[in-house]
Structure 1
Amino acid sequence: MRLIYNIAIIKVRVLIFILKFFNSKIRSFNNQRKNVIKKLESSISKNDNHIWIHVASLGEYEQGLPIFKEIKSLYKNHKIILSFFSSSGYEVQKNNSIGDLTIYLPLDSPSNAKKLISIVNPKMAFFVKYEFWPNYLYNLKKNNTPTYLLAGLFRKNHWFFKWYGSGFLNLLKSSITHFFVQNKESKNLLSSHNITNCTLMGDSRFDRVNSLPDQNNEIKNIKEFIGDKICFVAGSTWKEDEYLIIDSINENKNLAWIIAPHQINKKQIKKFQDKLKCESIIHSNLNQNNINSAKVLIIDSIGLLTKLYSYSDLSYVGGGMGQSGLHNILEPAIFKNPILIGKNYLNFPEAKDLISKNGAVSIKNTKEFQIILNKLIENKIRRTEMGEINFNYIKSNLGTTKNVISYLKGTK
C-alpha cells in the first residue's frame, strides 16, 4: 500500500513543480512549504520535549481548541508544534495561543515525514478528524510516539474499509495509540474491524462554541448597519448558496443582509454584487458616510463570522447546496439563531439532529428558500422557539474535552 501511495506522491510532486508556473494557488502551496524543514531545524532544540498537533484547516483547529488548551495546561513542560494543511487555517491562526511554533504541513513524502519526525521527536502526536497521512503515521510508529486521533468520524463508505484499503487500515491500527470518536456509529464501525482502543468522546465543537458568547463579539459599524431591521447572516457561502439566496435578497430589501463568503474572491464578490437590485457594500469600505445607504454588507476578510452570528436574527450556513460540505451550524446555534441550510447534509449528524428537533430547516431550491424565509420573518415567536431549540442542543452536548483529558491524565 505504501509503495503505491509513495509513487502517487512522486507524481504529485512532479505535477506541483510543473503547475506552479501556471497556477497561483499551486505556486502558493509550494512556496508555503518550501522552507518548513529548515524552519524546524533552526527553531527546535533537542533539549525540549515536544507535542505535535496537526489539523487540516480552521474548522478542525476550532473543533480541537478546547482540548488543545487543556493539553497545553496539562503538559506545561512541553512545547507544542502546531501544523496546518490549508492556508485558510494557517493564515487566520498563525499567531495562535496554542503552538510554540506554527507551520504548514510539508507534503507527505517519505523524506519529509522522516525529517520532520526526526527533528521534532514528538513525545505525543494528535491528529483531528480525518487527517490520516501514511508516511507521517509510519514514522511516528517507528519513533514509538503515542499518537491520538481526536474527534474521529468514520463511515462505512470510507475507502479504507474496502478491500483495497486494508493496507492503510492496518497502518491505522498499528500506528494510532487511541481513537477518540464523535459518535456511536464510528465506535461500532471501528469495533467491527477489531479496533477496540477507542473512546466515545463526542463532538468537541460543542465545548468550543459554548465559549463564543463570552468572547468580545463587537465589530465596528455592524450594529449601526443593522439598525432596527431583522438581520440575516449567510455564512461560509459558495456560489451555489449565493444563487439560492439572491432572489430573496432582491425581494426582501427591508432586511439587513450580511454575506460572509467562504473564500474571499474579489471577482466572485463583484459578480454577486452585479446581480443585486439593491445597494451593497464591502465591509472594508463600510464607514459612517455610507452605513445607512447599503442593504447588503459583504464581508471581505476572514475570522469575523462567529462574531457576526451574535448580531443575527436568522442564519444560513453555506456548503450544503454543492459538494463542498456543510459548514459549522453550531456557531449560529449558540447565539440562538434559527438556521437554514442547503439540501446536502446527511453526512453531518448535528444537522440531522437540529432538523429533527425543528431548530433548522433544509432548503432545496430558491422558491422554497423564499417561502421559508418569509414565514420566519413574519413569525417572531417561531424564530425564538427555533433559537431556543438550537441553544439547548449545544448545552446538552457539552463535556467532550473532559473525556479526552481524563484519559490522558491516566497515561501520565
Structure 2
Amino acid sequence: MFIVYDILLSIFAVLYIPFYIMRGKFHKGLFMRLGFIRRDVLDALGGRGSVWLHAVSVGEIVASRQLVTALKSKYPQYDIIVSTVTRTGNELAKKIVGEGVHVIYLPFDISFIVKRVVKILNPKILVLIESELWPNLINVVSGAGSKIVIANGRISVNSFKGYMFVRFLLKDILGRIDAFSMQTDADKDRFIKMGVEAGKVYVSGNIKYDISESAGVNGAYMLSERRRFGLADGDKFIVAGSTHTGEEEYILDTFRALKAKSANLRLMIAPRHIERSDRVAKIAEELGFTPIRVSRLDKEKISSDTVFILDTIGHLSKLYSVADLVFIGGSLVEKGGHNPIEPAIYSKPIIFGAHMDNFKEISAQFIDNGAAICVKDKDALGAAMTDVIFNEGKALGLGRNALRLVELSKGATMKNLKVISDVLGK
C-alpha cells in the first residue's frame, strides 16, 4: 500500500509544484515541505528529541495554543515542534505559540521526505490534532519507535462514511496510532467501528472550549476599536465571520433591509479566505455599498453606506469582542460552518445556518442551551437578525448563555495532556 501511495503522491507533487509556482504561490515554506528545515530551527534544536504537534487549520492552531503551552511546561527536556500546512497557519502559529516553540511546515507525505524530517526532529511523540491521517508520516514515525496520539480527535459523518469504504486500507495506519483522544462519544464510536481497539480510544472533550480571551482584549481595546470603525454610542456592529462564496450576497441583502429600519447599524464581513476580499468588496459595491478594507481603515473615509471587509490574518477572534451580533459563516452554504466558541467567550449573541456539520455536536450544544440561533435560509436570517439586533434583552440572554456554556465545557486541554503523557510514559 505504502509503495503505491508513494508513487501516486510523487507523481502528483511533480505535476503540482510547477503549477503552484506559476500561480504565484511559491514561498520559502515549499522548501520546508520538501524536507529542508530552516537554518534557525536547525540551530535551535538541542538534539534531545522532540514533542511534535501538527495542526492543519487556523482554528486548530488557535485551539491548540494552551495544549502547546502545557506540553512545553511538562516536557522541558524536549524541543517542542508545531507544524502547519498553509502559510496563513504558519504565520499565525509563529505569533501565538510562544517563545521556545519551533514552527515548521509539515513535509509532503512522501516517504523519503518524511524520513529526512523525522531523522532531524527525532520526535518522541507525534500529536496529530483532530483527524490528520497522513499514512507515510504515521508509518515513518511509528517505524522509528516513536509514539503517536490523535488529540482533540473528531470525524464527521461524511468523513466516516468515506473512511468506511477504505477501512481495509486504514487498518494498518490506525493500528500504528497509540491512543485516540476524541471530542465526543460519537467520535469514539466511529473510530471503533473503523477498526480501532476500544481500549485505545478515550473521550476528552473539545479543547476549543478552553480558548481564553485574546491577549489585550479589554474595555480600552474595545472602545478604541469601536472608534476606529467610526462607531458612535448606540451604533450596532454586526460581524459576519469566516464567510464563503454565496453567503455574502445573503448577508448584504439582509443588512440593507436592516439599515432601512435603523441607520445606526454597521457591518463587517470577514471572508474565510482573505484572497476573496476583492471579490467580496465588488459584491458590496454592486449592491450599493462602499467597501473599506480593514487594512486601509485609517486611510479611508467612513460613510453611512460603508461596509468593512476584513482582509488581514489573525484579527477576527479579537474583533468579535467589538460586535453586537455575530454571524458564523460557512453555515448558510454547505461548507460545514466554523467555530462559534470564539465569539461566545465574549458573551456575544450568535446566529448560524443549518450547515454546521464540522461543528455538529458543538452547534447542537449551543442551540440546546439557548446560546445561538440556527436559521435555515436567507429569510430566516433576516428575521433572526431583526429579532436580536432590535431586542437588547434577547441579545444579552443569548450572549450570557453562550459564555456560560463555554465556562461549563472547559477542561479538555488537561484531559488530552493526560492521554499524551500516559502514552509517552514520562
- Fold in common (TM above 0.5): yes
Q: Structure 1 residue 205 and structure 2 residue 208: aligned? A: yes
Specify every segment of 5 or more residues in structure 2 that has no aligned partner in the other structure, as ranges: none
Amino acid at match of 1:309: Y
Q: 5 Å matches for 1:74-113?
A: 74-95=74-95, 96-97=97-98, 100-113=101-114
One-letter amino acid matched to 1:37: F
2:366 match: secondary structure? helix
Contact 1:260 1:299 in 2 (8 A): yes
CA contact (8 A) 2:46 2:79 kept: no
Q: Secondary structure at the match of 1:306?
A: helix
Q: Per-residue deviation at 1:39?
A: 2.6
Query: Is the 2:37–2:104 Cα contact (8 Å) retained in structure 1?
Result: no
Indicate whether 1:236 and 2:242 are aligned: yes
What's the secondary structure of 1:20's corresponding residue? helix
The reply to whether residue 285 of structure 1 matches residue 296 of structure 2 is: yes
Q: CA RMSD in A?
A: 2.5
CA distance in 2, matches of 1:164, 1:214: 44
Q: Which residue of 2 aligns with 1:260?
A: 270
Residues 129, 152 of structure 1: 8 Å contact kept = yes
How many residue pairs are counted as aligned between the two chains? 408
In structure 2, the CA distance between the partners of 1:92 and 1:263, relative to structure 1 (3 Å rule), is same
Matched residues in 1 for 2:318 and 2:303: separation? 21
Distance in 1 between the 2:77 and 2:153 partners?
27
List aligned pairs for 1:132-151, cutoff 5 A. 132-151=133-152
Q: Secondary structure at the match of 1:328?
A: coil
Mean CA deviation greater in 198-207 or 12-21? 12-21
Secondary structure of 1:37's partner? Answer: coil
> d(CA) in 1 for partners of 2:148 and 2:178?
5
Aligned partner of 1:31 in structure 2 is: 30
Contact map agreement 2:85 2:105 (CA 8 A) in 1: yes
Q: For residues 61 and 297 of structure 2, what CA distance do their matches in structure 1 show?
A: 30
Identify the residue that residue 185 of structure 2 maps to in structure 1.
184
2:365 is matched with: 353
Of 361, 371, 376 in structure 1, the residue corresponding to residue 383 of structure 2 is 371
1:167 maps to amino acid: L
Note the C-alpha offset of 1:160: 6.6
- Residues 159 and 11 of structure 1: CA distance in aligned 2, closer, same or farther (over 3 Å): farther
Query: Which piece of structure 1 moves more, 366-375 or 216-225?
Result: 216-225
Taking the aligned partners of 1:29 and 1:240, their CA distance within structure 2 comes to: 33
SS in 1 for 2:298: coil
Amino acid at match of 2:105: Y
Q: Runs of 4+ in structure 1 displaced over 6 angstroms?
A: none
1:115 deviates by 0.8
Match of 1:400 in 2: 412
CA distance in 2, matches of 1:123, 1:324: 36
Cα distance change, pair 137–159 in 1 and its aligned pair in 2 (3 A):
farther
1:172-202 Cα offsets, whole Å, 9 max, x none, are: 12x2111110001122233343422122110
Please list the CA deviations of residues 205-243 of structure 1 after superposition, one character each: whole Å capped at 9, or x if unmatched.
0011xx116643527852112222111111111222212
For 1:309, the equivalent position in structure 2 comes to 320
Residue 121 of structure 1 aligns with which residue?
122
Q: TM-score by structure 2 length?
A: 0.88
TM-score by length of 1: 0.90
Letter in 2 for 1:259: I
What residue in structure 1 maps to residue 73 of structure 2? 73
Identity %: 25
Alpha-carbon distance in 2 for matches of 1:371, 1:156: 30
Stretches of structure 1 lacking an aligned partner (at least 5 in a row)? none
